[in-house]
Amino acid sequence: MQKQKNYKDDAPSYLIEFLNYTATVKGRSENTIKSYYDDLKQYFRFLKQKHGLASGMDFAEIKIADLSEDIIKNSGLNDALEFLHFISSERGNNAKSRARRAVAMRQFYKYLTYYKAWFSVSPLDRLEMPSLKKPLPKHLTYEQAIELLGVIPEINSFIDARDFCILTLFLNCGMRLGELVGLNTTDYKQERDFETGEPVHTMRVTGKGSKERVIYLNSACVDALNIYNDERMKFISNNKSLFGEKALFLSQKKSRITARHVERVVEKALKKAGLDGMGFSPHKLRHTAATLMFQNGVDVRVLKEVLGHENLGTTQIYTHVANKQVKEAMDKNPLGGNLKKK
């Protein structure tokens, strides 16, 4: 059997060390590591081309495993800027792609500075990110969210209970798709408040970079989960092979539900609600939860914890959503165009 090619097969040792460090110490996902490799591979190819080490070769065919440490040690900000100009003018990379590659380069040089001591100060500390226009997050209105939840008016089966519970958690908790798919039965807890004795329901969620956070569940989530868990137990009792299955959300094939399956659940519900073809998705349901919470008075710092954002700046996009809606409301005031002119 032919050995499957590993993306690290064509990489110098210091790049492999950086990728391993990023995965193990920084806890980045495999997708992030692959992205860093792809971005830095483009940069390394550019350096080989610049130093005359790839004469006559097609850019996409340039190997990087033999790029010497000396070239990296003698590279710096000007090389990075030239590379970003090259991928824009010669490779057609847009601002988003250039920004992603710039992030990879900054992280790489930071590692070389602080962990390998190749530089006293990172050469890319002053590298500015290409400016990006951030679109406001698309979301459902409150009325549309109610319509979406209403597409399953009665729970008549395991599938009904599961799909309703999925929609409820998305719209109330603002979970990411991967977070919902990864939920286990043991993540759902019911405890009692130490002071009041009232029941407190929580869900432990594993987010980006394997970081865990606890989400407090409202009554809508608790009701949906209780109904689903009843149906789930019936489903398991009729399928003995599922005994001990820890995944919270199961497919009819008796295994953990996949991300694509959840996307289809959402797509089907959107179509039933007459909301298909409008660009909505599971991630847009996350935006909906966040926007509705912010509109109803949830502080942006609290919202940051609910959503599992690392930086407050990421969460502040929802303040822009609210500001835009306030402006639109003012513009729609029928008195807005009746100012008397002299």
pTM here? 0.59
Left, alpha or beta for 252 (phi > 0: left; psi -120 to 50: alpha)?
Answer: alpha
Q: Say if residue 68 is in the same domain as residue 201.
A: no
Please check whether residue 218 is in contact with residue 278, taking contact to mean a CB–CB distance below 8 angstroms: no
Q: Say if residue 223 is in the same domain as residue 290.
A: yes
Which of residues 70, 96, 114 is at a domain's end?
A: 114
Q: Say if residue 177 is in the same domain as residue 287.
A: yes
For residue 29, give its domain range: 13-114
For the segment 116-128, the average pLDDT, to the nearest whole number, is: 92
Element (H, E) at 203: strand 199-206
The phi and psi torsions of 215 (rounded to 5 degrees) equal -105, 130
Name which residue leads in pLDDT, 209 or 312: 209
Assess whether 286 carries a catalytic annotation. yes
How many Cβ atoms are within 10 Å of 219's Cβ, its own excluded? 9
Tell me: pLDDT of 280 over 80.
Answer: yes
Assess whether 318 carries a catalytic annotation. yes
Residue 88 lies in a domain: yes
Which of residues 99, 114, 129 is at a domain's end?
A: 114
The interaxial angle of helices 30-50 and 95-114, nearest 10 deg, is 90
Assess whether 204 carries a catalytic annotation. no
Assess whether 283 carries a catalytic annotation. yes
Q: Round to whole Å and give the CA distance between 39 and 104.
A: 7
Assess whether 106 carries a catalytic annotation. no
The interaxial angle of helices 282-295 and 259-272, nearest 10 deg, is 70
Which of residues 114, 133, 155 is at a domain's end?
A: 114
Indicate which residue of 28, 41, 98, 176 is catalytic: 176
Indicate which residue of 101, 139, 162, 309 is catalytic: 309
Indicate which residue of 106, 201, 208, 256 is catalytic: 208
Q: Say if residue 162 is in the same domain as residue 58.
A: no
Q: Average pLDDT over the chain, rounded to whole?
A: 85
Q: Say if residue 24 is in the same domain as residue 82.
A: yes
Return the pLDDT at 333.
Answer: 46
Q: Say if residue 274 is in the same domain as residue 147.
A: yes
Assess whether 208 carries a catalytic annotation. yes
Q: Round to whole Å and give the CA distance between 239 and 260.
A: 23
Residue 4 lies in a domain: no
Q: Say if residue 288 is in the same domain as residue 189.
A: yes
Q: Round to whole Å and give the CA distance between 227 and 313.
A: 37
| Number of folded domains that form the chain | 2
Tell me: pLDDT of 56 over 80.
Answer: yes
Banded model confidence at residue 1, pLDDT cuts 50, 70, 90: very low
Return the pLDDT at 67.
Answer: 93
CA 305 to chain centre: 15
For the segment 306-312, the average pLDDT, to the nearest whole number, is: 71
**Residue-wise burial string across 43-54, b where 16 or more C-beta atoms lie within 10 A, e elsewhere:** bbbbbbeeeebb
Tell me: pLDDT of 335 over 50.
Answer: no
**Residue 7 token pair:** 């993306």
